[in-house]
Amino acid sequence: MSLIRTREESYINLNPLQTGGRTNAEVRLTAASFVDGYSVCDYCKGVLHLIEKPSICELTKDLAEFLGMDEARLTLGCREGKFAVMHALLSVQGAIVVDSNRHYSTYVAVERANGKIYEVENTGYPEYEIRPEAYRWVFEQVLEETKKPPELALLTHVDGDYGNLVDAYEVGKICQEYGVPFLLNAAYTAGRMEVNGKKLLADFVVVSAHKGFGVPGTIGVLAISEKWRERLFRKSIKYPKKDIELLGCTARGGAAACLITALPYVKERVKHWNEEIEKARWFVEKMEALGDIEQLGIKPTKHDLIRLKTPLLNKIAQKDRKKGYFLYHELEKRGITGIKPGQTEWFKLSTYGLTWEQVKYLYGAFEEIKDGNRSATI
C-alpha cells in the first residue's frame, strides 16, 4: 500500500530542513518520469558526470559556474561531500578546524575520517556568532600544539541552529594567510542566496540540493578549485573514468535529472533573496512584539532560519491540558506543521518560500494562540 504524506500545498511547513527542498510542479514531473531505479543510466558514458542524456555533463559544468568554482561533481548530499574532502585531505589524527555551530554530521564526518577536531567557539548567548578572527586563534593553537597548520578548515556558511550567516571571505583570508585549505559548507546558503566560492576564497564548496535546490533527495554538490582536482578527483588505477572518492558514481538516480530541471528556477530564486530576509525580519519583529519572545542569533537576522526563545508559549503550555504539545496541535489545527511536537521553550522555523500572505497568516496564528489561550486562562 502506498504511503501518503501531506504536502506543502495543503500545509505550511516550517521545518527548516525542508523549506528549501520543496519541489515545484516541473521538478515533480521529472521525478515521476525518472522514478525507476537507475533511470538516469540509460545512456551511461562510463561515469555519472559524463552522461549526456539526461545532460548531467552540462549540469555539473553549470553547477561549478553557479557556485563560482572550477569543477563540480554530484554527491549524495552535503555530509558525503564533506567526508570526501576530509577523507582526501586529512592524515591520521590530522587537525581540522571547524566552527562550533557546525552540523552534527561535520563532527561525525571528522570521526569517520579519523581526524582531530578543533572548534572555533561562538560568542554565546544571545547571538552565538562565529567571528572570523576566532579562526586565527584556533589556527595558532593548532600551530602551537602540532607545530604545523591545520590540514583543513571548515566553515558552516549559515548554521542550522541560529541561521547565522558568517563572513566567509574573512575566514578565507585567514585560511590563505596560514595556508589552510578552506571548505565551505553551503547547505543553508547555496540555492537560497548567491554563493561564489572563489570570491569567498574557498577551496571546496559543498552543497545539499535536497535542502537548498528544491529537488528530491538525496543529492548534493562538491565544487572545487582547479588546484585540488588531482587530489579530490583522483582516478581509479584500473578504471580511469572513475573518481575514487566518489566510488565512481554518486547520485545515480532520478534526483540528478530533477536537479537539471530545478537549476534554472534556483538561478532565478537566488535573485530574490532580499525578499526572503525581509519576510523573516518582519516575522521576527512581530513575534517579539507579542512579548516574552526573543530571537536568538545575530540581529537583525540575515537568513530565513529563525530560532525563537518563547517563554510566552511555555507559560501557556504549563496551563494547557496538552502541556508542551499544545503548540504543535494549535498550529496543526491552522494548517501549519514542521515545529517539533513538544517544543515550547524554544523552536526553530523557516519562512523560506512562503508568500507574504502566508507569513502574515503564520504570524496571525501565533497571535491567535496567544490571545486564545490568554482568554481561556483568565
Task: CB nearer to a second copy: give 31 or 155.
Answer: 31
Task: CB nearer to a second copy: give 14 or 166.
Answer: 14
- Rounded distance, CA 245 to CA 224, Å? 13
Q: Which residues, numbered 228-287, are part of the site for a second copy (CB under 8 A)?
A: 236-239, 242, 244-245, 247-248, 250-255, 257, 260-261
Q: Is 3 in the site for a second copy (CB under 8 A)?
A: yes
- Rounded distance, CA 139 to CA 180, Å? 9
- Rounded distance, CA 322 to CA 94, Å? 50
Place of cell 583543513: 152
Cell of 44: 551511461
CA dihedral of residues 365, 28, 4, 346 (deg, nearest 10): -30
The gap between the terminal CA atoms of the chain, to the nearest Å, is 48
Binds a second copy by CB under 8 A, chosen from 12, 14, 23, 301:
23
37-45, 195-203, 286-294, 344-352 -> range binding a second copy (CB under 8 A): 37-45
Task: CB nearer to a second copy: give 67 or 287.
Answer: 67
Neighbours of 317 (CB within 10 A): 20
Task: CB nearer to a second copy: give 102 or 281.
Answer: 102
Q: Is 80 in the site for a second copy (CB under 8 A)?
A: yes
Neighbours of 204 (CB within 10 A): 26
Task: CB nearer to a second copy: give 7 or 267.
Answer: 7
Task: CB nearer to a second copy: give 53 or 374.
Answer: 53
CA dihedral of residues 76, 121, 196, 351 (deg, nearest 10): 70
The site string for a second copy over 152-191 (x = CB under 8 A, - otherwise) reads ----------------------------------------
CA 272 to chain centre: 18
Spell out a b/e string for 68-96, using b for 16 or more CB atoms within 10 Å of the CB, else e: bbbbbbbbbbbbbbbbbbbbbbbeeebbb
Binds a second copy by CB under 8 A, chosen from 28, 116, 302, 315:
28
Q: Is 10 in the site for a second copy (CB under 8 A)?
A: no
Neighbours of 8 (CB within 10 A): 15
Task: CB nearer to a second copy: give 149 or 191.
Answer: 191
Binds a second copy by CB under 8 A, chosen from 12, 14, 38, 121:
38
Task: CB nearer to a second copy: give 111 or 275.
Answer: 111
- Rounded distance, CA 75 to CA 64, Å? 13
Q: Min. distance of Cβ 4 from a second copy in angstroms?
A: 5
Binds a second copy by CB under 8 A, chosen from 181, 197, 216, 353:
216
Place of cell 562550533: 100
In 3D, which of 197, 160, 187, 178 has the Cα closest to residue 118? Answer: 178
Q: Which residues, numbered 39-58, are part of the site for a second copy (CB under 8 A)?
A: 39, 41-43, 54
Neighbours of 341 (CB within 10 A): 12
Q: Which residues, numbered 313-352, are part of the site for a second copy (CB under 8 A)?
A: 337-338, 341
Q: Min. distance of Cβ 351 from a second copy in angstroms?
A: 17
The site that binds a second copy (CB under 8 A) totals a number of residues, namely 77
Task: CB nearer to a second copy: give 19 or 225.
Answer: 19
Q: Which residues, numbered 89-118, are part of the site for a second copy (CB under 8 A)?
A: 104-105, 107-109, 111-112
Binds a second copy by CB under 8 A, chosen from 37, 124, 240, 291:
37
Cell of 230: 588531482
Q: Min. distance of Cβ 49 from a second copy in angstroms?
A: 15
Q: Min. distance of Cβ 291 from a second copy in angstroms?
A: 31
Ranges of H-type helices in 151-225: 168-178, 209-212
Cell of 128: 552565538
Task: CB nearer to a second copy: give 9 or 357.
Answer: 9
Place of cell 578543533: 118
